Amino acid sequence: MRIGKARLGVLVTVALTWAGCGGGSNDTSKVDCGCPDVGTNDCLDASTMETAPPADVSIDLPTEAASPEANPCHPCEIDADCTGGLVCFDEDNNPATPKVCTKPYDPNTGCPDGMHGDYNVSKYCICDDCGGEYNPKCEPTSCLITTDGGSKLGECKLTGDKCYCQPASNPCQKCESDADCTGGLVCFDEDNNAGTPKVCTKPYDPNTGCPAGMHGDYNVSKYCICEDCGSIINPRCEPLVCLAQGTNGAFVGECKLTGDKCDCQPSANPCQKCEKDADCTGGLQCLDDDNNPATPKVCTKVYVPADGCPAGMHGDYAISKFCICEDCGSVFNPKCEATECLGVNADGVTKVGSCKLANGKCDCAIN
């Protein structure tokens, strides 16, 4: 509530004067404060006085302070370490874990975030620990699962309202039965291909996606599919050598990611002599790479310094905008092997030399 200071002063003065002059009392001992000679200089008629308007001055009365937010699962020593009405207690009855800020468990109102209730353990809300790890938010951190056969690595996961250390999933792991799979996966022939083994997978859901190293394709299967390449299981789609079936039969290729699927694609054939683009693989084109009519057209690509050139090729914008094969003299030598060649020395004399790689280019070095 805000009260003008001037108004407050007037009210207090009037009240004190009225009380001191016997106002509201029959006590004749009180002094009569009336003015005997109204209108004289000594006593003015109150009815003729002009009262100035009260100054617009206000005061702030204290307001109630906001309560601090609760700090559930905060390690503590005494109740004073806790806020928001929580108390300090060994909530899980485990001497190995610290006392924390908690509250009595009530199934009707539940527990604060990061806590759950279990009357079999305690009458207080219990922090969501995971294995032996203090993890009130149940982050998916690594943890140890202790079994009769020893300890094994797992991952913290929320099950119901409790944080448990559960086996980490093993997608694309070869399997014989569901028991071989962990993390909720099942054993299935995920690509409907009798030539590949059954693996640990899950039903494909476009909203949640697939585990790392897997993709979904309803045209192939209703399960998440491993990133195979040819007949090789390759969940990370490493650039491995693979064998694939083409229109002209089987060919050796290289594993490459196309979209979200790992396919066996033809390996690039840089510096391969060609007549047309169809003779080139791996995205290369058939071009006169060095702008030299004396050398054949070869499979090449546009030179981009940041990407470089395929093995056996180099880039030189002074010659061409395409990657150039490592020729040596007039000898076609993409690997720049130390073969004999004919070169011209500083005097303009043609001599026998040897092919050598210098500054990214294969030249005929004159002995």
CA-based nearest residue to 267, from 254, 285, 248, 283 = 254
Which pLDDT belongs to residue 245? 64
Q: Are 145 and 159 in contact (CB under 8 A)?
A: no
Which pLDDT belongs to residue 222? 93
- φ, ψ of residue 261 to 5 degrees: the values are -125, 145
Rounded mean pLDDT, 284-290: 89
C-alpha pair distances (Å), 334 with each of 76, 144, 266, 311: 72, 55, 20, 8
Confidence of residue 187 (pLDDT cuts 50, 70, 90): very high
Q: Tens of pLDDT along 137-150?
A: 777 777 777 667 66
DSSP per residue, 98-110: --EEE-B-BTTTB
Share of the chain above pLDDT 90, in %: 14
CA-based nearest residue to 131, from 95, 105, 101, 167 = 167
Distance CA 103, CA 241 (A): 61
Q: Tens of pLDDT along 2-38?
A: 444 444 444 444 444 444 444 444 544 444 444 444 4
CA-based nearest residue to 55, from 3, 5, 1 = 5
Sheet holding 340-344, edge to edge: 340-344, 350-358, 361-366
Strand partners, 313: 325
Confidence of residue 81 (pLDDT cuts 50, 70, 90): very high
Share of the chain above pLDDT 70, in %: 70
Q: Is 8 left (phi over 0), alpha (psi -120 to 50) or beta?
A: alpha
Distance CA 9, CA 162 (A): 63
- E strand or H helix at 75, and its extent? none
| pLDDT at position 350 over 90 | no
